[in-house]
Amino acid sequence: MLDDLEKLIKFIQTEYIEFNKKWQNSDYYTKINLKNNLILDLTENEEILNAVFNYREFINENNIQLLMDFKQFNTENAKVNIRTKAKNSIEYKIKNYIENHENGKVPINKCLNDLFGIRIICTEKIEKDQIAELIKFKFKNLKYIDSSKKNYKATHIYFRQGNFNFQWELQIWNKEDEINNINSHEKYKQDYIKWEKENKGGNK
| Residue 193: predicted pLDDT | 63
For residue 175, the cross-strand partners are none
| Residue 202: predicted pLDDT | 45
| Residue 186: predicted pLDDT | 77
DSSP 152: B
Query: What's the average pLDDT block by block, 10 residues per block, for the chain (204 residues)?
Result: 93 97 96 96 94 96 93 92 92 92 95 96 94 95 93 96 96 95 77 63 43
- Give residues with Cβ within 8 angstroms of 31, minimum separation 6: 164
Domain boundaries, the chain: 2-200
Query: Whole-angstrom Cα distance, residue 179 to residue 157?
Result: 21
| Residue 190: predicted pLDDT | 66
How buried is residue 190: exposed, middle or buried, by Cβ count under 10 Å (0-12/13-18/19+)? Answer: exposed
Query: Whole-angstrom Cα distance, residue 121 to residue 3?
Result: 14
Task: State how far the alpha carbon of 54 is from the alpha carbons of 62, 93, 168, in Å.
Answer: 13, 17, 15
Entry pTM:
0.90
